[in-house]
Amino acid sequence: MLVTADKKLASIGEGPAGRIQAELIGRGKETNEEVYSLTRVVISDCTDYNPEGMIQKLNAGIALLGGWERFVSPGMKVLLKVNLIGPKAPETAAITHPEFVRALVRILKGLGCQVWIGDSSGGAIAGVAPTARSFKVSGLEQMAREEGALIKNFDREGVVEVVPRSGLGGKMYIARPMFDADFVINLPKFKTHSAGVFTGAVKNLYGCIPGLRKAEYHRLAPDPRDFGAVLADIHQAVNVGLHIMDGVTAMQGEGPTAGTVYPAGKLLMSADPLALDTVAVAMLGLEIEDIPILHSARASGLGEASLQNIEIAGDYTVPPRLKGFKLPKRLRNIKPRTYRFVIKVIDFLKARPRVNLKACRHCNMCVESCPVQAIDRKTKAIDYGLCIECMCCHELCEHKAVELRRDNRFLDFLGRIRKRA
């Protein structure tokens, strides 16, 4: 029996995954038996970046989501939205690995598609985001040249103005290639985040905001719940039909850039970004409520966040636990059920950024990227009265010179009173 797009939309919602599924069903090929669960998340074991091995794993995984022909067709311009947070080598596990991207480029070119690879890195020096340098340092530029893919530096491709559903910030400007492409595949990296606990498919689309405009949204939405709504705005504005997470090597500890490598050996695939992240955090023993931006993205209707409603396929039927994986320092040694309480408590006691002058190279990336200009250009002292604790300085420092320290804010508060007396 054919399922109409309208009927299906009524049951799957109007999010990005809903749109792609409606589009697939609208092609008129599907029967009830052939309509694949939107909330299916495929987990595949994959222990190295050998492109040929990855091609097999990716093809097998996508077959469980309905096959490549459900998503792309010959002649399409397919944009691979990578995670290129900054000029980092693939071995750091801070970026989407170029060999993983190479495997996808080969698959898509084999299907007759044109392939684009795009992102905008965080931060800026002298007003210029380091995206061009990031494409070089990561090896993505060279790989693209070798494989015949096009690099799309989102800082140089123009923007499309959209009106965010949340109303935050009035208008939003998103990199033009996200709209010019016929199909977009989101390729997040599996990483911890010192401020947000975890970063994956939902957060990765933040790189669609070019250059320093990113800092503006941190300023407008300092509360993680509002920031989650901003991310939902981006997902709802662009139409990303597929999300494939590079978890072959993951980043643990002080991610998204200053952590260490954890050999997770996993690829995760889904049409639903929130379902994918829900499964990824379950692999860490966490729930969506432990990750403030994901909790908020769920409230914005971004996708499925209840594990019992997510169908897991591939090499697992339940999310495999990543043994010994280190969470950000502030959450270590805490029993899982107490995370939510602890996250609330550390809103008061949480670590604050501080520049270690011995490690600092005075590049001023942190100074120029701070959304509220809280860092002194000369001394690198941080004005905590201005700081909104977005942790961009910690995230963007290429020299790991911005440390997170737990301060006793009560004593700090008393100190300020004494100073005024």
Can you give the binding site for ligand SF4, defined by CB under 6 A?
A: 353, 355, 360-366, 370-372, 374-375, 380, 382, 387-393, 397, 399, 401-402
Q: How far is the CB of 196 from ligand SF4 (least distance, A)?
A: 12
Q: How far is the CB of 363 from ligand SF4 (least distance, A)?
A: 4
Taking the least distance from each CB to ligand SF4, the nearer of 3 and 375 is: 375
Cβ–Cβ under 8 Å, residues 41 and 318: no
Taking the least distance from each CB to ligand SF4, the nearer of 86 and 228 is: 86
Distant-in-sequence, close-in-space partners of 411: CB < 8 Å, separation ≥ 6 = none
- DSSP character string of 135-203: HHHHSHHHHHHHHT-EEEETTSS-EEEE--TT-TTS-EEEETHHHHSSEEEEE-EEEEETTTEEESHHH
Q: How far is the CB of 367 from ligand SF4 (least distance, A)?
A: 6
Taking the least distance from each CB to ligand SF4, the nearer of 62 and 355 is: 355
Taking the least distance from each CB to ligand SF4, the nearer of 304 and 368 is: 368
Element of type H or E holding 16: helix 16-26
Q: How far is the CB of 365 from ligand SF4 (least distance, A)?
A: 4
Report in angstroms the alpha-carbon separations of 365 from 40, 126, 184, 392.
40, 8, 30, 10
Element of type H or E holding 404: strand 402-406
Taking the least distance from each CB to ligand SF4, the nearer of 287 and 389 is: 389
Q: Which residues pair with 78 in a beta bridge?
A: 115, 183
Taking the least distance from each CB to ligand SF4, the nearer of 334 and 360 is: 360
Where would I find the beta strands (DSSP E) of 271-372? 311-314, 351-355
Q: How far is the CB of 369 from ligand SF4 (least distance, A)?
A: 6
Q: How far is the CB of 404 from ligand SF4 (least distance, A)?
A: 9
Q: How far is the CB of 386 from ligand SF4 (least distance, A)?
A: 7
Q: How far is the CB of 349 from ligand SF4 (least distance, A)?
A: 16
Residues written for the chain: 421
**Residue type for position 40:** R
Taking the least distance from each CB to ligand SF4, the nearer of 12 and 370 is: 370
Where would I find the beta strands (DSSP E) of 83-149? 114-119
Q: How far is the CB of 406 from ligand SF4 (least distance, A)?
A: 14
Burial 183-215 (b: 16+ CB within 10 A, else e): bbbbbbbbbbbbbbbbbbbbbbbbbbbbbbbbb
Cβ–Cβ under 8 Å, residues 251 and 281: no
Q: Please tell me the distance from the alpha carbon of residue 212 to that of residue 218, in angstroms, as a whole number.
A: 10
Q: Please tell me the distance from the alpha carbon of residue 249 to that of residue 54, in angstroms, as a whole number.
A: 13
Taking the least distance from each CB to ligand SF4, the nearer of 165 and 219 is: 219
Closest CA to 243 of 128, 83, 90, 24: 83
Taking the least distance from each CB to ligand SF4, the nearer of 297 and 382 is: 382
Taking the least distance from each CB to ligand SF4, the nearer of 222 and 301 is: 222
Q: How far is the CB of 258 from ligand SF4 (least distance, A)?
A: 11
